[in-house]
Chains A and B, each alone.
Chain A
Amino acid sequence: DIQMTQSPSSLSASLGDRVTITCQASQDIRNHLNWYQQKSGKAPKLLIYDASNLETGVPSRFSGSGSGTDFTFTISSLQPEDIATYYCQQYDNLPPLTFGGGTKVEIK
């Protein structure tokens, strides 16, 4: 099974800051990676698919990059509504589809 290692597990940043989360796959997954946002008490929401494609309706301050084993998710300017936990998910070698452990983003 492919393991997804996400870091950091939590972070605290100021409004307007640039926030970066990384996800590392245990083997090459090409660009087969998605990013989700989960707000407290809510279902996850797809933000980025195929490593760098913005889902329809998602604000452009969210972006993703990477291929192979190393991926990055960025919020260019942190907003209050971005407080959430973010997950990466691979679909290169399945089953199983696997998620990273999550990154909790808080306001400093």
Chain B
Amino acid sequence: EVQLVESGGGLVQPGGSLRLSCAASGFTFSDFHMSWVRQAPGKGLEWVAKIKGDGSEKYYVDSVRGRFTISRDNAEKSLYLQMNSLRAEDTALYYCARGGKFRFDHWGQGALVTVSS
């Protein structure tokens, strides 16, 4: 069974940093693109970043490029999102999702990030 479990969310002040993690199991992690998708409170879905299976290619939505870094450790079957220079508008539930090349076929339960003073 495919499982994705996020961790690392929390409350952070504007300008601060946070690192999200996603532990994957139940599939060959290195075979798949992985993505982060976020959802602001009461809003729709927004794709944030994706990384190729071997980590060689990374892409970001314009609003986070230069502030967020996606990475992965295939030996540990883990996906990460390093978030720096956080803003109030980054407040959201962050989902780890399998996919990013075509479709997102499995999702985690989400990690809540709140940016507030």
Residue numbers in B under 8 Å from A43 (CB-CB): 95, 107-110
Closest A residue, CB atoms, query B45: A99
A91 touches B107 (CB 8 A): no
How many B residues are at the interface, by size bracket? 20 to 34
A98 touches B47 (CB 8 A): yes
Q: How far is the CB of B6 from chain A (nearest CB, A)?
A: 10
A residues contacting the other copy or chain, number (CB 8 A): 23
- What residues make up the interface of B, taking CB atoms closer than 8 Å to A? 35, 37, 44-47, 50, 59-62, 95, 100-105, 107-110
A-B residue pairs, 10 tightest by C-beta = A43-B107, A95-B59, A97-B47, A99-B45, A34-B103, A102-B44, A49-B103, A96-B61, A46-B105, A91-B102
Provide a sorted-by-A list of 28 A–B residue pairs whose CB atoms are within 8 angstroms. Answer: A32-B102, A36-B45, A38-B45, A43-B109, A43-B110, A44-B37, A44-B45, A44-B104, A45-B107, A46-B104, A49-B103, A49-B105, A87-B44, A87-B45, A89-B104, A95-B50, A95-B59, A95-B60, A96-B61, A96-B62, A97-B35, A97-B50, A99-B44, A99-B45, A99-B46, A99-B47, A100-B44, A102-B44
